[in-house]
Amino acid sequence: MSSDHKKKIGLLFSGGKDSTYACAKMLEEGHEVECLVTIISSNKNSYMLHTPDIELAELSSQALEIPLVKDYTEGRKEDELDDIKRAILRSKDECGINAIGTGAIASNYQKDRIDSIAAECGLSVISPLWQINQAEYMRTLQNDGFRYIITSVSSEGLGREWLGREVSDSDLLELIRLSQKFKFNVAFEGGEAETFVLDCPIFKSKRIKVLESSITWNGYFGEYEIRRATLEDKGVV
């Protein structure tokens, strides 16, 4: 990649599979991910932001060895866009970014708003997963060694038994089957579930280990809350 096309990226980051894999793709394409941009919302029903276990982005940042720019929002539907813009402008000022990175796959609602915010901030947008085939993408995650757990479910066909589960090859086959039966996005782009990455090839020397957790389930949807986690050496068995 020529220096003209190489971007200094502030990656909108949650610790989930999509933003983490997007980070890997950007690095693979020769960009520099200067910082991770994480906005913590007090509204668990945010239209724009991932909320389950979002506080653990700090551990992910350490595992990736990429600085974290963290900000907060009350998550009111349109006001949160101003809060996202504030965090992006901070990243531009503190980290010298010239582009925003996203893990967006299919949500026009989110992509249109991020594109608009980036334009207002004088930044371009890099979304390497946009319009990717979702089943193929999920298989790629498995094949490339991304280890992730499901931290929330909110779709017919996904029950309590999925919460806290690290997705295996056989689990993925079941998810593909369920997504076809119940008509949800197999990569969870519609918010059907959220995830958290424990390990992947771009975690430099550490991975994340969950030490304490709890499950909340109301009969239709639920959340796996990681109460305590730590970094451990990848060499530990």
pLDDT at position 34 is 98
Residue 50 has pLDDT above 70, yes or no: no
Residue 230, class by beta-carbon neighbours within 10 Å (0-12 exposed, 13-18 middle, 19+ buried)?
exposed
Distances (CA, A) of 146 to 14, 21, 79, 140, 189: 15, 8, 34, 9, 18
What mean pLDDT do residues 5-13 have? 95
Give pLDDT tens digits for 74-91: 767 667 889 999 999 999
Amino acid found at 223? E
Rg, the chain, Cα only: 17
Asked if 12 and 100 touch (Cβ cutoff 8 Å), the reply is yes
Residues 6+ apart with CB under 8 A from 26: 7, 9, 11, 33, 101, 126, 128
Domains defined along the chain, listed by start:
8-126 (3.40.50.620), 134-233 (3.90.1490.10)
What mean pLDDT do residues 2-15 have? 86
User: In this structure, how many other beta carbons lie within 10 angstroms of the beta carbon of residue 199?
Assistant: 18
Share of the chain above pLDDT 90, in %: 79
Asked if 35 and 19 touch (Cβ cutoff 8 Å), the reply is no
Q: Which residues of 148-176 are buried (b: 16+ CB within 10 A; e: fewer)?
A: bbbbbbbbebbebebbbeebeeeebeebe
Residue 3 has pLDDT above 80, yes or no: no
Residue 62, class by beta-carbon neighbours within 10 Å (0-12 exposed, 13-18 middle, 19+ buried)?
middle
User: At 105, is the pLDDT very low, low, confident or very high (cuts 50, 70, 90)?
Assistant: very high
Residue 98 has pLDDT above 90, yes or no: yes
Residue 2 has pLDDT above 60, yes or no: no
pLDDT at position 97 is 98
pLDDT at position 1 is 52
Higher pLDDT, 54 or 140: 140
User: At 47, is the pLDDT very low, low, confident or very high (cuts 50, 70, 90)?
Assistant: low
Residues 6+ apart with CB under 8 A from 45: 75
pTM for the whole thing? 0.94
Mean pLDDT computed over every residue of the chain: 92
